[in-house]
Structure 1
Amino acid sequence: MAYSDFSLEKVKKNFGLTICDRIDMFSEVAEVECSALLAENLRENVTLALASNTEKSRSEMIITPILIEVRKQLKYQIGLFSGIDFNVDPERGLNGSCDFLISHSSELLLVSAPIIIIVEAKKENINAGLGQCVAEMLAAQIFNEREGNEIPAIYGTVTTGTIWKFLKLQEQIIDIDLGEYYLNDVKKIVGILANSIRN
């Protein structure tokens, strides 16, 4: 078993989680003024990515520039990992690679303090990616506990690049924002990601 094998129902049952649906969970988070470079990248890339309509094109042309912008907003004090193996507890299925992982540490060679998990929605199905995202968030929580990192909450998002859904894991409770954020709200998306790291 691996992260991608988990449905939301399976991860809830296997790990005894409580799932709470939330409305406007991040409504109080302020938008962040983004750089001209991000605006230009998205203006140039989004049409091309959507025309190609592959997970790879969306990942490279939409998601990655947004995550690089978050890193820039936080003055490069975070680590950003793409496609990294994150084998935390293979016996319980918490193994495999993460599409993207943001660490609370600026260290770039090794993951040392994971705080945000980003899962690319397969076949543009956001809800189908929730189980995988929660499994990876649980792995991040276990990793931090083992390493003695005092990180009380792990955040996650499932995205198509143009649509973003956010989650939060604290202890055994998963909060899932029922709302979705769209690419024309990129300032809000960057704001939520940056705020999740600052808290």
Structure 2
Amino acid sequence: DNDTEKARSELIIAPLLIEIRELFNRKVSLFSGREFNVDATQRLNGFCDYIVSASEFTLEIEAPVITIVEAKNESTNAGLGQCIAEMVAAQRFNQARDKTIPNIYGVVTTGRVWRFLKLSAQTVAIDNEELVIENEEDSSISKILAILSEPIKGFNCA
């Protein structure tokens, strides 16, 4: 149900991504529920739940796009295919703007359960371990923030 998915993402996912933006002095931008049409002929078009870009500008999505976050209700497995397609779209988006980067990162999350992916060239690595947030003090939150911060450190955003 989309309403539940949206509420969950606004209450749990968005605050973590906003925290990342603050950690990097707003040198990264965060887009929520934006249309990301890269190549309709390859079906690389549609809406992304969240996009993180290594650009300060927040009016439109700019390259390089570094992380895609897909929110799902039921399980992280349900969002893997969609997230991978969005990661490929991000890779092509960056290439078309001469801002190719070695890796595109992806996250599929229910808000409570988080799974991480990495696209390098033509290869996708899917982390077997899921991180689970049990409560507000859970140590998984700091791990999730650390993982989300890692790709940004390669850019002059700190």
TM over 0.5: yes
Distance 1:83 1:138 in 2: 18
- Equivalent in 54, 65, 68 of residue 15 of structure 2: 65
Compute the RMSD of aligned alpha carbons.
1.1
Distance 2:131 2:27 in 1: 25
Distance 1:76 1:124 in 2: 32
For the pair 1:76 / 2:31, whether they are aligned, the reply is no
Residue 59 (structure 2) aligns with: 109
Distance 2:87 2:5 in 1: 21
Residue 48 (structure 2) aligns with: 98
> How much has 1:175 moved relative to structure 2?
0.6
For the pair 1:196 / 2:146, whether they are aligned, the reply is no
> How much has 1:152 moved relative to structure 2?
1.2
> How much has 1:79 moved relative to structure 2?
0.6
Distance 1:90 1:80 in 2: 23
For the pair 1:118 / 2:69, whether they are aligned, the reply is yes
Residue 90 (structure 2) aligns with: 140
Q: What whole-Å deviation, never above 9, does each CA across 1:144-175 have from its counterpart, x for those lacking one?
A: 00000031110000000111000000100001
Amino acid at match of 1:109: L
Distance 2:36 2:11 in 1: 24
Q: What whole-Å deviation, never above 9, does each CA across 1:80-116 have from its counterpart, x for those lacking one?
A: 0000000000011100010000001111011112110
Residue 142 (structure 2) aligns with: 187
8 A Cα contact 2:38 2:92, kept in partner = yes
Amino acid at match of 1:175: A
Give the helix-richer structure, 1 or 2. 1
Amino acid at match of 1:115: I
TM-score (norm 1): 0.71
SS at match of 1:62: helix
SS at match of 2:108: strand
Q: Which runs of 5+ in 1 are unaligned?
A: 1-52
Give runs of ≥4 in structure 1 deviating > 4 Å: none
Instruction: Give the number of the structure whose alpha-carbon radius of gyration is greater.
Output: 1
TM-score (norm 2): 0.89
SS at match of 1:95: coil
For the pair 1:172 / 2:122, whether they are aligned, the reply is yes
